Each structure stands twice: as structure tokens, then as C-alpha cells.
Structure 1
Amino acid sequence: MPDAVVIGAGPNGLVAANLLVDAGWSVEVLEAQDEPGGAVRSDHGVHPDYISDLFSAFYPLAAASPVLARLDLASEGLRWSHAPRVLAHPLLDGRCAVLERRVRDTSAGLAEFAASDADAWHRMYETWSGIGPDLVRALFTPFPPVRAGLSLARKLRAAGGLRLARKLALPVRRLGEEEFAGEGGRLLLAGNALHADLAPEAAGSGGFGWLMSMLGQSHGFPVPVGGSGALTAALVNRLHHRGGVLRCGERVTSVVVRGGVAVGVRTTGGEPVDAERAVLADTSAPALYRDLVGEEHLPSRLVRDLERFQWDFATFKVDWALRGPVPWTAQGAVGAGTVHLADGVDGLTRFTAQIATGRVPDEPFCLFGQMTTADPSRSPAGTESAWAYTHLPQRITDDAGGPDHITGRWDSREQEAMAARLEAQVERFAPGFRTLIAARRILAPPSLQAMDENLHNGAINNGTTALHQQAIFRPTPGTGRPETPVKRLYLASAAAHPGGGVHGAPGANAARAALRAHGLHTLLHRAQRM
């Protein structure tokens, strides 16, 4: 009987398992898919000579994560690579807002939009330099972040206190207008906010856009050399080297609860897997509580709150094997690992408004990845392994694109129509793009969910990033911690605080909560410092 069973071998599940084995626990990880990694996987599925990331691709949060840093994954072979430029947001007139690797270069580029914006970016980064490390530590610890929060509070007072807090609570449109005279800085903030499901007018979107922009400036948007699967491989190898067990193709169908205590799980074949000390679930909150535990073991208030649980946007993704580099009209996009494609902040507002009303956007905001630019090992020299994704409504009521009439059935006709719409948006900014396509793969929302059940209809953050479902409201009001109403059962996925992104914090928080329940949390902390 293992000390702990971990449901799911996504990055959070693997982080949790690694921390538990570090503390001396025996651990068994059960993964429904035939391979580990969750949304951190890569393959040769588009073209045999090209490496494509199936889901996530760029990892600023991983680069900044103290959780992953303590695991020393470099010793397991993980290496990082950076594109010459971090991020670009081109405009149709040839101008381009560029997040460069160096602050002075970013500032110089923004000065081309408005001279005063060079100083504005410097001031913004100086604020980040003063509070960023403490903010990241506070963000990646269980809520409330007592120890890290005290240090952060002192730094916040020195950085402007309530005035800074106000800035971070602003909608990103307003924050951009207050901080920058020109369009460049506003584009960087707003585009980064839409890495989540935060419209330019949403409260708190300014804080998220600022966080992602400053992470990009301080840590870049790195990628694992050889594909995102290299990050998963490092976590798996570390687990194996420390005696942990990983079983793929083992779907858990229920958590066994006796007397209000989780004592193990059952798999599809009916096999019981008992757990001596804890069960940790790297699953969505609705899946854990409704499907695996059952409402009969839960407080009625939690059951009612789950009815109000909100998923983030659906996602539609296309991977390409390109014969040559993307022919961007705006030269600032050349050499950028990530490229945002939208007609300014107004275009982002129009896009999110269409999603809010259930309509498939006619001109989708594209997050475009140039993977060979970021990591030359991804495809032959002179070519590009690329992808783009866009957001969609979770429930489609209409299609703003007119004659395509996409309904959300996602049959072959609708997939082709949406892929063509994505390619048309790229073509606007890079005429001739389509002529470079040697092969492509379409991943509609149902396809993403089939490959990773946590990606509900393509929701990549395991629940909305909006303020009403963050911190003490994540995944439901009054939670905010990995503990659940079932004793010895812990939520270890991005459904728990602090939410989406590849940084390992939900898994680490769950592992530490399980250890703390047995008086072993201090032992783990000492072991990791040795």
C-alpha cells in the first residue's frame, strides 16, 4: 500500500509526487492517458521532421517558479532556450510593439510610439524589480500567504501601497491608458492579459497583464529544448530515480471514502488502490467532486457552489510545419517567440465582446508561436515549427463570421472553416504565410479535451481567471487551499489556488498540506534546503 496515490500525471500531479517522495513517502501516480504530462507534451504528429507542442509551449511562470527551481530539473537533463525576442504585437501599418530580452531595448522600441513611454516602461519594471520576487513567492504559496505575504506587504508599502494596488486592480485598458501615451505599451499589457480569459475591460486584467509582461521582461518566455515533453520527462525521471511509481493507461473512476476519509481509489478495471496517508487529485474541481467523490460525501453548500463554477474560454489550436520563416510585414515580429495578432486594443475588446455573447469571433485574436525561432532543434534549418490558438465561447450561440456558420459541432467542415479563419488572420500580418504550409494539425475544443480531460472543451486554465474565482474563491467560495471536505483528500490541480499556468504551485501546495497533516512539512523543507 503506497502512502499516497496521485490522480493524474500532469505537471502539478508530478510535482506533488516528487515532493512526497522527497519526504520519504511511497507514491503511486495513476494517469488515464497512455503517456504522462497532461498539457505539457510534444510529438512529431504534424510532420516527422518537426517537433510540435500539443498544448502549452512557452513557460515564463515555470522560469520564475520557486517550486520548480527547488526540484533542480537541470540535473535530469532539462535545458531551456529563448527566442531572440520575447514577444511581439504587430500592427497592420508595419509598426510593432516588442518585448525584448533587455529592458532598455523594450523601452527604446516603445519610444517609437511615444517618447515618454520609454521612461514609463522603465518605471514599471523598477516597481517589478522591487516587489516581483516577493509577489511570486506569495502567489505560489497556499492562501493566505502568511510568511511571504508579510514580506510582500512591506515591499508594497515602499512601492506605493494603495496606489500600486489600485493599478493592479484596474482593467488592462485603463492601466495602459494611465501608464502609456502611445499604443505600444498598451498592446503588450492587453495582449498578455488575454493569455487568460480576461477582457481588456475586466477588473484585475491590468494586474495579470502587468504580471505576464514583467515576467517576460525579467525571465523571458523560455521553451524546453527538444519540446515541452522534455519538461515532463525531467519530472518523470526525477520521480523514478527517487522510487516513485507511475502507471499510465490507468483511469481512476472513483475515490474511495470511508467515514469521511479518503482511503484510496478505484480504477476502470475495478482495481482498488489503497492509500495509507493521502489521495491527491490533479483533476478539475467538478470532476473530482461530482464524478470521483460523489455528492453524498460533500457538504450541500459545496454542491450548490459547483453549480456556479465557471470555466474559462474554450480554445481552438492549429499546428503547422512551415517550409520557411513567417513573412511578417512588421520586422519587429521577426525573431519573436510569441506573436500576438489583433487590430490593437480595440480589436481585443471586439474579440472578447463576441465571445461574451456566445459568438464565434470573425477576426480571432491569435497567439502565435514560432517554436524553431525559440529552439532551433524543433525543425530543419530554414523552416519553422509553428502554432496558433484562439479563444472561443464555451457555449456557441452564433457565428460572427457569417457564411461559415460554425455551431460548435466541430465536424470536419467546421474544423476546416475555423482553421481557415485563423490562417486568414495570420495572412493579414504575414502575406504569403499560407504558401509555406507543408502540413498542419487541427485541435478543436473536443480534441483538446479528449487528450487531456482537465481541458474541459479546451479550457486551458481549469476555471476562469476572473477575480470572482481566484484566491479564497477558487474553485468555490471559502476554499483557496488544497484541503477538501473529505479528510486526506487534496485538490492538486490548476483548479486550486493560484490557478493556471505551468509552475507546479497547486501540486506543491497539496503535497505540503498532506505532509503537514502528518507533521512532516518541516522535514520536507529541510530536505530541500540540503
Structure 2
Amino acid sequence: MPDAVVIGAGPNGLIAANVLADAGWSVEVLEAQDEPGGAVRSDRGVDRDFVTDVFSAFYPLAAASPVLHALHLEREGLRWSHAPAVLAHPLADGRCAVLSRDLDVTAAGLDSFAPGDGASWREWHALWQRVGKSLLGCLFTPFPPVRAGARLAARLGPAGALRFARTALLPTRTMGEEQFAGEGGRLLLAGNALHADLSPESAGSGIFGWLMSMLGQDVGFPVPVGGAGMLTTALVGRLERRGGTVRCGRRVSGVVVRSGRAVGVRTADGEEIPARRAVLAAVPAPLLYEHMLSPGDLPAGLLRQLGHFQWDFSTFKVDWALDGPVPWTAFPARQAGTVHLADGVDDLTRFAAQLATRHVPDRPFALFGQMTTADPTRSPAGTESAWAYTHVPQVIKGDAGDEGITGSWDAGEQNTMADRIEASVERYAPGFRALIRGRRILAPPALQGLDAALQGGALNAGTTALHQQLVFRPVPGLGRPETPIRGLYLASASAHPGGAVHGAPGANAARAAMSLPPVSALASRIQRSLADA
């Protein structure tokens, strides 16, 4: 009988298992898919000579995460690589905003949009240097982050803390307009905010865009050498060396609860696997509470609140094997690992408005990844392993374009949407389509089929909007990894601080499971009380 059973071998599940194993716990990880990794996997499915990251690809939060640093995955062979430039945002008129790990290069590029904007960027970066470590501490520890929050407040002082709180609530459009006279800095902030499901007008989108921009400035957007799957390989190898076990092809259908306590799990084939001390669920909150538990084991208020749980937007992704580098008209984009494609902040707002009205965008904002530029091992010399993704509504009401996409995502609709994305790339890189050697389309149903945590193609296990963050994530009152059931912990991105590959939800759940039994029991009772309120 293992001390703990972890449901899901994605990054959060594997990190939770490693933290427990480091404390001497025996751990068994159960994964529904035939291989571990969740949304951190790579393959050669587009072309046998090309390594393609199936889901996530660039990892700024992993590079900044104290959780991952503490695992010393370099000892497991993990190595990181960077593109010459972090990010580029070309415009149709030939200008290009560039984010570089060299502060002088970033600032000089922004000055080309408006003199003085480089100095403004330096001001933002100076603030990041003062508070960034404490801010990340708030994100990577359970809510409320008492110690990290106190350090952040001390660094800012009373007046500074008040100004920072206002800044943290700003929409990215407002933040950009207050800080930058030209379009370049505004584009970097807004484009980074749209890595999540936040529009330029969403409250709190500014701080997310600033966080991603400053991470890019400081640690870049690194990639694992050899493919995203190398990060998973390192996590699995580390766990197994410490006695942990990962069993793939073992879908968990339910959590076994007796006398209000989780005592094990039940697999789809009927096997019951006991857990001596804890069950950690690295799955989205609705899957755990609505499908793996009996309603009688949960407060009625929790199930009512889950009825208001909001997923983030769906994702539509295309992978390519290209016979040559992408011929961007704006030369700086040829050096960037990540390229944002939208013709200005107004174009981003237009895109977000179409999503809000449940229409498939006619001019999709695309995040474009140049993986061979970031890691030359990904494909033969002179070629490029590339991908792009965009957001579409979870439930589609109509198509803002002329092709009538309905959301059935049959072969015709998949090809239509992929062609729409390629047309967008072609506007900024004429001749792109002529380079395509192979193409793979991953529509929302395909993404969910490859990883059940990506419900409807949602990447973040729930919206990043303020109303479902902090103490409101996944529902009001459940801002910690403890659940209303003793011995059961939520270890997925549905828990604070949310999505991206940084390991905080998994590590927080592991630490909660290792807390003294009276503390754990009290936390579960509080969660039950809040959930039933």
C-alpha cells in the first residue's frame, strides 16, 4: 500500500510525487494515457525528422520556479536552450517590437516606436528587480501567501503598495497607454496577456502581461533541449530513482471515500488501489468533484458553485515541418522563438470581442513558435519545426469569417481554420506556405482526447480572469489544495496559482498532505464549511 496515490502524470502530478518522495513517502502515480507528461510531451508525428512539442513548448515560469529549481533536474539530464530573441511582434507596416534578454536591445527597439519608451521599459524592469522574487513567492505558495506577501509589502512600503495594487488591477490596454507613448511596449504587454484568456480590457490583464514580459526579459522563454518531453523524462526518472512508480494506461474513475476520508482510488477496470495517507488529484476541479466523487461525499454548496466554474477558451493548434526558416518581412522576427501575430492592440481587442460573443475569429491572433530557432536539435539544419495556436470559443455561436465554422470540427472545419491561421502567417511572411513539408491539426476535441485535463481544448484548467483566481479558484472558499474530504488534495492547475508549467499546484498539494494531521483535518473542515456556505 503506497503512502500516496497521485492521479495524473502531468507536470503537477509528477512534481507532487517527487516532493512526497523526497520526504520519504512511497508514491504511485496513475496516468490514463499510454505515456506520462500530460501537456508536456513531444513526438515526431508531423515528420520523422522533426521533433514537435504536442502541447506546451516555451517555459518562462519553469525557469523562474523555485519548485522546479529545488528538484535539480539538470542532474537528470535536462538542459535548456534559448532562441537569439525571446519574442517578436511584427506589424504589417514592417515595424517589429522585440523582447530580448538583453535589456539594452529591448529598450532600443521600443525607442524606435517612440523616443523615451525604452526608459519606460527600464523603469518597469527596475520595479521587477525590486519585487519580482517576492511576487513569484506569492504565486508559488498556498493562498494566503503570508510570508511572501509581507516581504512584498515591505519592499514597496505603504504608498508603493497602494500604487502597485492599483497597477495590478489595470487592464493591459490602460497599463500600456499609461506607460508607453508608442505601440511597441503596448504590444508586448497585450500580446503576453493573451497567452491566457484575458482581453486587453480585462481587469488584471495588465499584471499578467507585465509578469510574462518581465520573465521574458530576465529568464527568457527557454525550451528543453530535444523536446518538451525531456522535462517529463527528467521528472519521471527522478521519481523512479527515489522509489516512486508511474503506471500509464490506468484511468482513475473514482476516489474511494470512507467516513469522510479518501482512502484510495478505483480504476476504470475496477481495481481498487488503497492509499495509506493521501490521494492527490492532478486533474481539473470539475472532473474531480463531478465525476470522481459521489455527491453524497461533498457539500451541496460546492456542487452548486461548480455550476458557475468557467473554463478558459478552447485552443486550436497547427504543427508544421518547414523546408526552411520562416521568411518574415520584419527581420527581427526571424531571430525570435515566439512570434505574436496581430496588427496592433486594437486588432487584439477585436479578436477578444469575437471570442466574447462566441464567434470564431476571422483574423485569429496567433502565437507562433519557431522551435528549431530556439533549439537546433529539433530538425535538420536549414529547416524549421514550427507551430501556431489560437483561441476559439468553448461553445460556438457563429463564425466571424465567411466559411461558416460551427464547432463540429470535422475534417472540413479543421482544414478551414488551419488555412485561416496560415493566411495570417502569410501576411507577415510571404512564401511561408511554400515551405510546408508536413502539417498536423489539433482541434479542441483532439487536444482533449490526448489529455483529458484539456477540457474542450482549455489549457489553463479554468479561466485566468480575476473572478476565478486566488481564494476564488476553483470556487469561492477553496483557494488552497485541501478539499472538503480529509486526505484528498487538489494538485492541478484548477488550484491556486493556476496554469502554466511551474509546479506550484502540485508542490502545494504535496506540502499540504505532509502537514500535521490536526492541521490537515482543520483545513478540510474549513473548506467544507466555506464550500457549503
**Contact 1:102–1:217 (Cα < 8 Å) also in 2:** yes
Cα distance in 2 for residues equivalent to 1:189 and 1:454:
28
**Matched residue, 1:396:** 396
Cα distance in 2 for residues equivalent to 1:520 and 1:438:
57
**Structure 2 residue 411 is matched with structure 1 residue 412:** yes
Task: State the Cα distance separating 1:148 from its structure 2 match.
Answer: 1.4
**Matched residue, 2:429:** 430
Q: Which moved more, 1:95-104 or 1:148-157?
A: 148-157
**Contact 1:336–1:373 (Cα < 8 Å) also in 2:** yes
**Contact 1:3–1:276 (Cα < 8 Å) also in 2:** yes
**Matched residue, 1:480:** 479
TM-score, normalised with respect to structure 2:
0.97
**Matched residue, 2:30:** 30
Cα distance in 2 for residues equivalent to 1:369 and 1:251:
32
C-alpha RMSD over aligned residues: 1.1
**Matched residue, 1:16:** 16
Q: Secondary structure at the match of 2:70?
A: helix
Cα distance in 2 for residues equivalent to 1:413 and 1:289:
36
**Matched residue, 2:298:** 298
Task: State the Cα distance separating 1:157 from its structure 2 match.
Answer: 2.0
Task: State the Cα distance separating 1:518 from its structure 2 match.
Answer: 4.2
**Matched residue, 1:268:** 268
**Contact 1:7–1:13 (Cα < 8 Å) also in 2:** yes
**Matched residue, 1:526:** none
Cα distance in 1 for residues equivalent to 2:390 and 2:330:
21
Structure 2 CA distance for partners of 1:519 and 1:64, relative to 1, 3 Å:
farther
**Matched residue, 2:357:** 357
Cα shift readout 1:96-151 (whole Å, capped 9, x = no counterpart): 00001111110000000001101100000000000001111111000001111111
**Matched residue, 1:66:** 66
List aligned pairs for 1:474-513, cutoff 5 A.
474-513=473-512
Unaligned runs of 5+ in 2: 521-533
**Matched residue, 1:249:** 249
Cα distance in 2 for residues equivalent to 1:462 and 1:66:
22
**Contact 1:354–1:360 (Cα < 8 Å) also in 2:** yes
**Matched residue, 1:319:** 319
User: Which amino acid in 1 is paired with 2:244?
Assistant: G
Cα distance in 2 for residues equivalent to 1:136 and 1:291:
33
**Matched residue, 1:462:** 461
**Contact 1:23–1:520 (Cα < 8 Å) also in 2:** no
Q: Secondary structure at the match of 1:421?
A: helix
**Matched residue, 2:441:** 442
User: Which amino acid in 1 is paired with 2:487?
Assistant: R
Q: Secondary structure at the match of 2:88?
A: strand
User: Which amino acid in 1 is paired with 2:477?
Assistant: G
**Structure 2 residue 105 is matched with structure 1 residue 119:** no
User: Which amino acid in 1 is paired with 2:375?
Assistant: D
**Matched residue, 2:526:** none
**Matched residue, 2:51:** 51
Cα distance in 2 for residues equivalent to 1:376 and 1:501:
24
Cα shift readout 1:204-244 (whole Å, capped 9, x = no counterpart): 00010000000000110000000000000000000000000
**Structure 2 residue 232 is matched with structure 1 residue 227:** no
**Aligned residue pairs: how many?**
520
Cα distance in 2 for residues equivalent to 1:77 and 1:421:
39
Q: Which moved more, 1:83-92 or 1:155-164?
A: 155-164
Cα shift readout 1:476-499 (whole Å, capped 9, x = no counterpart): 001110000011000000000000
User: Which amino acid in 1 is paired with 2:471?
Assistant: I
Structure 2 CA distance for partners of 1:397 and 1:512, relative to 1, 3 Å:
same
Cα distance in 2 for residues equivalent to 1:284 and 1:296:
20
Task: State the Cα distance separating 1:519 from its structure 2 match.
Answer: 8.4
TM-score, normalised with respect to structure 1:
0.97
Cα distance in 1 for residues equivalent to 2:515 and 2:238:
23
Cα shift readout 1:11-61 (whole Å, capped 9, x = no counterpart): 000000001011011000000000000000000000000000000000000
Q: Secondary structure at the match of 1:279?
A: strand
Q: Secondary structure at the match of 1:265?
A: strand
Cα distance in 1 for residues equivalent to 2:59 and 2:24:
29
User: Which amino acid in 1 is paired with 2:479?
Assistant: G
Cα distance in 1 for residues equivalent to 2:518 and 2:483:
18
**Contact 1:312–1:463 (Cα < 8 Å) also in 2:** yes
User: Which amino acid in 1 is paired with 2:155?
Assistant: K
The percent of aligned pairs where both chains have the same amino acid is: 69
Q: Secondary structure at the match of 1:71?
A: coil
List aligned pairs for 1:515-526, cutoff 5 A.
515-518=514-517
Cα distance in 1 for residues equivalent to 2:191 and 2:437:
29
Cα distance in 1 for residues equivalent to 2:172 and 2:101:
23
Cα distance in 2 for residues equivalent to 1:518 and 1:437:
58
Q: Secondary structure at the match of 1:296?
A: helix
Unaligned runs of 5+ in 1: 522-530
**Structure 2 residue 162 is matched with structure 1 residue 166:** no
**Contact 1:127–1:159 (Cα < 8 Å) also in 2:** no
User: Which amino acid in 1 is paired with 2:478?
Assistant: T
Q: Which moved more, 1:150-159 or 1:139-148?
A: 150-159
User: Which amino acid in 1 is paired with 2:439?
Assistant: R
Cα distance in 2 for residues equivalent to 1:95 and 1:378:
29
Task: State the Cα distance separating 1:79 from its structure 2 match.
Answer: 0.2
Q: Secondary structure at the match of 2:394?
A: coil
**Matched residue, 2:177:** 177
Q: Which moved more, 1:222-231 or 1:154-163?
A: 154-163
Cα distance in 2 for residues equivalent to 1:159 and 1:345:
31
**Matched residue, 2:383:** 383
**Matched residue, 2:524:** none
**Structure 2 residue 340 is matched with structure 1 residue 346:** no
Task: State the Cα distance separating 1:517 from its structure 2 match.
Answer: 3.5
Cα distance in 2 for residues equivalent to 1:149 and 1:353:
34
Task: State the Cα distance separating 1:308 from its structure 2 match.
Answer: 0.1
Cα shift readout 1:297-334 (whole Å, capped 9, x = no counterpart): 11011010000000000000000000000000111211
Q: Secondary structure at the match of 1:235?
A: helix
Q: Which moved more, 1:158-167 or 1:17-26?
A: 158-167
Q: Secondary structure at the match of 2:217?
A: helix
User: Which amino acid in 2 is paired with 1:516?
Assistant: S
Cα shift readout 1:447-486 (whole Å, capped 9, x = no counterpart): 0000001101110000000000000000000111000001
Cα shift readout 1:344-367 (whole Å, capped 9, x = no counterpart): 000000000000001000000000
Q: Which moved more, 1:109-118 or 1:289-298?
A: 289-298
Q: Secondary structure at the match of 2:203?
A: coil
Cα distance in 2 for residues equivalent to 1:180 and 1:337:
24
Task: State the Cα distance separating 1:294 from its structure 2 match.
Answer: 2.2
* Superposed structure 1 runs of 4+ greater than 4 Å apart: 518-521
Cα distance in 2 for residues equivalent to 1:15 and 1:156:
32
Cα distance in 2 for residues equivalent to 1:425 and 1:435:
14
